Amino acid sequence: MDFTDLHALLHATYGEMMPLCAHMAGIAKGIAGLGALFYIALRIWSSLARAEPIDVFPLLRPFVLGFCIMFFPSVVLGTVNAVLSPVVQGTEKLVHVQQNDLQSLRDQRDKLEEEAYRRDKSRAYLVDDAAWDEKVQEMGFIGPEDAITLAGMYAERTAFNTKRWFVKKIYQALELVYNAASLVIDTLRTFILIVLSILGPIVFGIAVWDGLGGSLSAWFARYISVYLWLPVSSILTALLTKIQVLMISKDIAELQNPGYVPDSGDWYYIVFFLIGIVGFFCVPTVAGWIIEAGGGIGNYGRNVNQTAQRGVQGAYTGGKVTMAGTGAALGNAGGRIKGLLIK
Protein backbone atom coordinates (compact mmCIF):
# COMPACT_ATOMS: atom_id res chain seq x y z
CA MET A 1 0.00 0.00 0.00
CA ASP A 2 1.49 3.35 -1.05
CA PHE A 3 0.62 6.90 -0.01
CA THR A 4 -1.93 7.26 -2.81
CA ASP A 5 -3.88 4.33 -1.40
CA LEU A 6 -3.73 5.87 2.08
CA HIS A 7 -5.19 9.14 0.79
CA ALA A 8 -7.96 7.20 -0.95
CA LEU A 9 -8.59 5.31 2.32
CA LEU A 10 -9.03 8.60 4.18
CA HIS A 11 -11.55 9.81 1.61
CA ALA A 12 -13.46 6.53 1.91
CA THR A 13 -13.44 6.86 5.70
CA TYR A 14 -15.02 10.29 5.44
CA GLY A 15 -17.79 8.87 3.27
CA GLU A 16 -18.38 5.99 5.70
CA MET A 17 -18.70 8.38 8.67
CA MET A 18 -21.27 10.67 7.07
CA PRO A 19 -24.35 8.57 8.02
CA LEU A 20 -23.51 9.24 11.67
CA CYS A 21 -24.92 12.74 11.20
CA ALA A 22 -28.42 11.24 11.37
CA HIS A 23 -27.83 10.13 14.97
CA MET A 24 -27.47 13.77 16.03
CA ALA A 25 -30.62 14.88 14.22
CA GLY A 26 -32.91 13.89 17.12
CA ILE A 27 -30.96 15.95 19.65
CA ALA A 28 -30.72 18.85 17.21
CA LYS A 29 -34.48 18.76 16.61
CA GLY A 30 -35.15 19.14 20.33
CA ILE A 31 -32.72 22.05 20.64
CA ALA A 32 -34.09 23.72 17.51
CA GLY A 33 -37.75 23.16 18.53
CA LEU A 34 -37.25 24.81 21.90
CA GLY A 35 -35.32 27.63 20.31
CA ALA A 36 -37.99 28.12 17.66
CA LEU A 37 -40.66 28.39 20.36
CA PHE A 38 -38.86 31.24 22.08
CA TYR A 39 -37.77 32.79 18.76
CA ILE A 40 -41.30 32.98 17.34
CA ALA A 41 -43.01 33.86 20.62
CA LEU A 42 -40.64 36.75 21.29
CA ARG A 43 -41.28 38.34 17.91
CA ILE A 44 -45.02 37.85 17.94
CA TRP A 45 -45.48 39.23 21.44
CA SER A 46 -43.15 42.17 20.78
CA SER A 47 -45.16 43.08 17.65
CA LEU A 48 -48.44 42.78 19.55
CA ALA A 49 -47.09 44.88 22.40
CA ARG A 50 -46.16 47.66 19.97
CA ALA A 51 -49.43 47.27 18.06
CA GLU A 52 -47.50 46.58 14.87
CA PRO A 53 -48.32 44.09 12.11
CA ILE A 54 -46.54 40.76 12.44
CA ASP A 55 -43.76 40.25 9.91
CA VAL A 56 -44.05 36.63 8.84
CA PHE A 57 -40.88 36.35 6.78
CA PRO A 58 -38.34 36.37 9.70
CA LEU A 59 -40.47 33.70 11.40
CA LEU A 60 -39.62 31.25 8.59
CA ARG A 61 -35.98 31.03 9.71
CA PRO A 62 -36.51 28.31 12.37
CA PHE A 63 -38.51 26.22 9.89
CA VAL A 64 -35.73 26.45 7.27
CA LEU A 65 -33.11 25.44 9.84
CA GLY A 66 -35.34 22.59 11.00
CA PHE A 67 -35.66 21.36 7.43
CA CYS A 68 -31.85 21.45 7.08
CA ILE A 69 -31.52 19.44 10.31
CA MET A 70 -33.98 16.78 9.14
CA PHE A 71 -32.13 16.26 5.84
CA PHE A 72 -28.67 17.35 6.96
CA PRO A 73 -26.52 14.72 5.12
CA SER A 74 -28.17 15.30 1.74
CA VAL A 75 -29.27 18.95 1.86
CA VAL A 76 -26.38 20.60 3.74
CA LEU A 77 -23.36 18.31 3.37
CA GLY A 78 -24.40 17.07 -0.05
CA THR A 79 -24.76 20.61 -1.40
CA VAL A 80 -21.51 21.93 0.12
CA ASN A 81 -19.49 18.89 -1.00
CA ALA A 82 -21.01 19.00 -4.49
CA VAL A 83 -19.91 22.61 -4.86
CA LEU A 84 -16.39 22.09 -3.48
CA SER A 85 -15.54 18.61 -4.85
CA PRO A 86 -14.84 19.88 -8.41
CA VAL A 87 -12.08 22.06 -6.92
CA VAL A 88 -10.51 18.99 -5.29
CA GLN A 89 -10.80 16.90 -8.46
CA GLY A 90 -9.32 19.66 -10.64
CA THR A 91 -6.25 20.13 -8.43
CA GLU A 92 -5.72 16.35 -8.12
CA LYS A 93 -5.64 16.07 -11.92
CA LEU A 94 -2.85 18.62 -11.98
CA VAL A 95 -0.84 16.47 -9.56
CA HIS A 96 -1.40 13.22 -11.48
CA VAL A 97 -0.32 14.77 -14.79
CA GLN A 98 2.87 16.22 -13.30
CA GLN A 99 3.76 13.00 -11.43
CA ASN A 100 3.38 10.87 -14.56
CA ASP A 101 5.71 13.20 -16.45
CA LEU A 102 8.16 13.22 -13.53
CA GLN A 103 8.46 9.44 -13.35
CA SER A 104 9.14 9.05 -17.08
CA LEU A 105 11.73 11.84 -17.00
CA ARG A 106 13.45 10.30 -13.98
CA ASP A 107 13.90 7.00 -15.79
CA GLN A 108 15.26 8.79 -18.84
CA ARG A 109 17.68 10.86 -16.75
CA ASP A 110 19.01 7.83 -14.85
CA LYS A 111 19.63 6.00 -18.11
CA LEU A 112 21.45 8.96 -19.65
CA GLU A 113 23.49 9.47 -16.48
CA GLU A 114 24.78 5.91 -16.55
CA GLU A 115 25.62 6.27 -20.23
CA ALA A 116 27.47 9.52 -19.51
CA TYR A 117 29.59 7.85 -16.83
CA ARG A 118 30.43 4.96 -19.16
CA ARG A 119 31.25 7.41 -21.95
CA ASP A 120 33.92 9.07 -19.78
CA LYS A 121 36.78 6.56 -19.99
CA SER A 122 38.59 8.10 -17.02
CA ARG A 123 35.61 7.56 -14.70
CA ALA A 124 33.75 4.63 -16.24
CA TYR A 125 35.31 2.14 -13.82
CA LEU A 126 33.57 3.95 -10.94
CA VAL A 127 30.10 2.75 -11.99
CA ASP A 128 30.66 -0.08 -14.47
CA ASP A 129 32.08 -3.46 -13.42
CA ALA A 130 33.06 -4.28 -17.00
CA ALA A 131 35.04 -1.05 -17.28
CA TRP A 132 36.71 -1.88 -13.94
CA ASP A 133 37.75 -5.32 -15.15
CA GLU A 134 39.02 -3.85 -18.41
CA LYS A 135 41.10 -1.23 -16.59
CA VAL A 136 42.60 -3.91 -14.32
CA GLN A 137 43.46 -6.07 -17.35
CA GLU A 138 45.18 -3.10 -18.99
CA MET A 139 47.55 -2.92 -16.03
CA GLY A 140 48.81 -6.45 -16.82
CA PHE A 141 51.12 -7.91 -14.19
CA ILE A 142 50.44 -6.19 -10.88
CA GLY A 143 53.63 -5.19 -9.12
CA PRO A 144 54.12 -3.23 -5.89
CA GLU A 145 53.55 0.14 -7.60
CA ASP A 146 50.55 -1.19 -9.50
CA ALA A 147 49.12 -2.53 -6.25
CA ILE A 148 49.23 0.98 -4.78
CA THR A 149 47.52 2.34 -7.89
CA LEU A 150 44.90 -0.42 -7.75
CA ALA A 151 44.25 0.24 -4.07
CA GLY A 152 43.82 3.95 -4.83
CA MET A 153 41.36 3.16 -7.63
CA TYR A 154 39.42 0.83 -5.32
CA ALA A 155 39.33 3.51 -2.59
CA GLU A 156 38.16 6.11 -5.10
CA ARG A 157 35.43 3.80 -6.40
CA THR A 158 34.31 2.95 -2.86
CA ALA A 159 34.17 6.62 -1.85
CA PHE A 160 32.26 7.49 -5.05
CA ASN A 161 29.66 4.75 -4.53
CA THR A 162 29.38 5.57 -0.82
CA LYS A 163 28.64 9.18 -1.65
CA ARG A 164 25.99 8.18 -4.19
CA TRP A 165 24.46 5.74 -1.71
CA PHE A 166 24.39 8.33 1.07
CA VAL A 167 22.78 11.00 -1.13
CA LYS A 168 20.24 8.46 -2.37
CA LYS A 169 19.31 7.48 1.20
CA ILE A 170 18.93 11.12 2.22
CA TYR A 171 16.75 11.65 -0.86
CA GLN A 172 14.57 8.65 0.00
CA ALA A 173 14.27 9.68 3.66
CA LEU A 174 13.19 13.22 2.80
CA GLU A 175 10.80 11.89 0.17
CA LEU A 176 9.24 9.71 2.88
CA VAL A 177 8.93 12.69 5.25
CA TYR A 178 7.50 14.79 2.39
CA ASN A 179 4.78 12.20 1.69
CA ALA A 180 4.18 11.73 5.41
CA ALA A 181 3.62 15.49 5.86
CA SER A 182 1.04 15.39 3.07
CA LEU A 183 -0.66 12.44 4.77
CA VAL A 184 -0.68 14.24 8.14
CA ILE A 185 -2.44 17.25 6.61
CA ASP A 186 -4.99 15.01 4.87
CA THR A 187 -5.60 13.01 8.07
CA LEU A 188 -6.16 16.13 10.18
CA ARG A 189 -8.43 17.51 7.47
CA THR A 190 -10.52 14.34 7.43
CA PHE A 191 -10.76 14.29 11.22
CA ILE A 192 -11.90 17.93 11.47
CA LEU A 193 -14.42 17.50 8.63
CA ILE A 194 -15.88 14.41 10.32
CA VAL A 195 -16.25 16.28 13.62
CA LEU A 196 -17.88 19.27 11.91
CA SER A 197 -20.18 16.99 9.92
CA ILE A 198 -21.32 14.83 12.82
CA LEU A 199 -21.94 17.80 15.12
CA GLY A 200 -23.30 19.97 12.31
CA PRO A 201 -26.99 19.34 13.17
CA ILE A 202 -26.29 20.47 16.75
CA VAL A 203 -24.80 23.70 15.39
CA PHE A 204 -27.88 24.28 13.23
CA GLY A 205 -30.12 23.63 16.24
CA ILE A 206 -28.19 26.10 18.40
CA ALA A 207 -28.29 28.70 15.61
CA VAL A 208 -32.09 28.92 15.98
CA TRP A 209 -31.68 30.64 19.33
CA ASP A 210 -31.39 34.43 19.47
CA GLY A 211 -27.82 35.61 19.86
CA LEU A 212 -26.33 32.35 18.65
CA GLY A 213 -26.99 32.74 14.92
CA GLY A 214 -23.32 33.53 14.30
CA SER A 215 -22.41 29.91 15.00
CA LEU A 216 -24.05 28.96 11.68
CA SER A 217 -21.85 31.23 9.56
CA ALA A 218 -18.79 30.21 11.62
CA TRP A 219 -19.57 26.53 10.95
CA PHE A 220 -19.79 27.09 7.19
CA ALA A 221 -16.59 29.17 7.16
CA ARG A 222 -14.61 26.56 9.07
CA TYR A 223 -15.97 23.64 7.08
CA ILE A 224 -15.11 25.29 3.76
CA SER A 225 -11.70 26.43 5.02
CA VAL A 226 -10.74 22.93 6.20
CA TYR A 227 -12.18 21.37 3.05
CA LEU A 228 -9.85 23.57 0.98
CA TRP A 229 -6.75 22.17 2.71
CA LEU A 230 -6.63 19.35 0.17
CA PRO A 231 -6.82 21.59 -2.95
CA VAL A 232 -4.18 23.90 -1.51
CA SER A 233 -1.84 20.99 -0.72
CA SER A 234 -2.47 19.55 -4.20
CA ILE A 235 -1.51 22.88 -5.79
CA LEU A 236 1.68 22.91 -3.69
CA THR A 237 2.49 19.35 -4.77
CA ALA A 238 1.83 20.18 -8.42
CA LEU A 239 4.07 23.26 -8.16
CA LEU A 240 7.00 21.39 -6.60
CA THR A 241 6.56 18.49 -9.04
CA LYS A 242 6.59 20.92 -11.97
CA ILE A 243 9.81 22.46 -10.69
CA GLN A 244 11.38 19.00 -10.47
CA VAL A 245 10.19 18.25 -14.02
CA LEU A 246 11.90 21.41 -15.28
CA MET A 247 15.12 20.61 -13.40
CA ILE A 248 15.21 17.02 -14.68
CA SER A 249 14.50 18.25 -18.22
CA LYS A 250 17.49 20.57 -17.89
CA ASP A 251 19.62 17.66 -16.64
CA ILE A 252 18.52 15.52 -19.59
CA ALA A 253 19.47 18.29 -22.02
CA GLU A 254 22.93 18.55 -20.45
CA LEU A 255 23.42 14.77 -20.33
CA GLN A 256 22.73 14.55 -24.05
CA ASN A 257 25.84 16.67 -24.60
CA PRO A 258 28.76 14.24 -25.23
CA GLY A 259 31.22 16.47 -23.38
CA TYR A 260 29.15 16.82 -20.21
CA VAL A 261 30.40 15.04 -17.07
CA PRO A 262 27.63 14.56 -14.46
CA ASP A 263 28.13 14.87 -10.74
CA SER A 264 26.88 12.37 -8.19
CA GLY A 265 24.65 14.65 -6.13
CA ASP A 266 20.93 15.30 -6.09
CA TRP A 267 21.19 18.01 -3.47
CA TYR A 268 18.90 20.42 -5.34
CA TYR A 269 16.10 17.86 -5.30
CA ILE A 270 16.67 17.41 -1.56
CA VAL A 271 16.30 21.17 -1.05
CA PHE A 272 12.90 21.16 -2.74
CA PHE A 273 11.77 18.28 -0.55
CA LEU A 274 12.62 20.42 2.49
CA ILE A 275 10.67 23.31 0.98
CA GLY A 276 7.70 21.01 0.38
CA ILE A 277 7.75 19.72 3.97
CA VAL A 278 7.61 23.28 5.32
CA GLY A 279 5.00 24.24 2.73
CA PHE A 280 2.61 21.47 3.79
CA PHE A 281 2.45 22.85 7.32
CA CYS A 282 1.56 26.28 5.88
CA VAL A 283 -1.50 24.84 4.11
CA PRO A 284 -3.98 25.73 6.93
CA THR A 285 -2.81 29.33 6.88
CA VAL A 286 -3.10 29.63 3.09
CA ALA A 287 -6.57 28.04 3.17
CA GLY A 288 -7.53 30.61 5.81
CA TRP A 289 -6.62 33.37 3.36
CA ILE A 290 -9.17 32.04 0.86
CA ILE A 291 -12.06 32.13 3.33
CA GLU A 292 -11.74 33.70 6.76
CA ALA A 293 -12.29 31.21 9.57
CA GLY A 294 -11.13 32.62 12.89
CA GLY A 295 -11.12 31.05 16.30
CA GLY A 296 -9.74 27.56 16.68
CA ILE A 297 -8.78 27.10 13.02
CA GLY A 298 -6.73 30.31 12.99
CA ASN A 299 -4.93 29.37 16.23
CA TYR A 300 -4.31 25.88 14.85
CA GLY A 301 -2.67 27.29 11.72
CA ARG A 302 -0.41 29.52 13.81
CA ASN A 303 0.62 26.61 16.05
CA VAL A 304 1.29 24.39 13.03
CA ASN A 305 3.51 27.04 11.43
CA GLN A 306 5.51 27.45 14.64
CA THR A 307 5.94 23.68 14.91
CA ALA A 308 7.07 23.52 11.28
CA GLN A 309 9.68 26.23 11.87
CA ARG A 310 11.08 24.40 14.90
CA GLY A 311 11.11 21.14 12.94
CA VAL A 312 13.01 22.68 10.04
CA GLN A 313 15.59 24.19 12.39
CA GLY A 314 16.03 20.81 14.06
CA ALA A 315 16.32 19.05 10.70
CA TYR A 316 18.91 21.60 9.53
CA THR A 317 20.99 21.15 12.69
CA GLY A 318 20.67 17.37 12.50
CA GLY A 319 21.67 17.44 8.84
CA LYS A 320 24.82 19.44 9.65
CA VAL A 321 25.76 16.96 12.37
CA THR A 322 25.09 13.98 10.10
CA MET A 323 27.10 15.41 7.20
CA ALA A 324 29.97 16.28 9.56
CA GLY A 325 29.97 12.80 11.04
CA THR A 326 29.90 11.18 7.61
CA GLY A 327 32.74 13.38 6.35
CA ALA A 328 34.81 12.57 9.42
CA ALA A 329 34.21 8.83 8.96
CA LEU A 330 35.15 8.93 5.27
CA GLY A 331 38.20 11.07 6.00
CA ASN A 332 39.32 8.70 8.74
CA ALA A 333 38.91 5.70 6.45
CA GLY A 334 40.81 7.43 3.64
CA GLY A 335 43.61 8.41 5.99
CA ARG A 336 43.98 4.84 7.25
CA ILE A 337 44.13 3.48 3.67
CA LYS A 338 46.68 6.13 2.71
CA GLY A 339 48.77 5.31 5.75
CA LEU A 340 48.76 1.61 4.95
CA LEU A 341 49.78 2.29 1.35
CA ILE A 342 52.68 4.50 2.44
CA LYS A 343 53.92 1.78 4.78
Q: Is the pLDDT of residue 242 over 70?
A: yes
Cβ atoms 70, 64 nearer than 8 A: no
Residues in the chain: 343
| pTM for this prediction | 0.72
Question: pLDDT class for 227, splitting at 50, 70, 90?
Answer: very high
Lowest mean pLDDT among 78-87, 93-102, 243-252: 93-102
In 10 A of CB 21, how many CB atoms? 21
Q: Which of 26-30, 82-86, 130-134 tops mean pLDDT? A: 82-86
Residue 192 has a pLDDT of 92
Cβ atoms 76, 201 nearer than 8 A: no
CA proximity to 197, closest of 220, 174, 229: 220
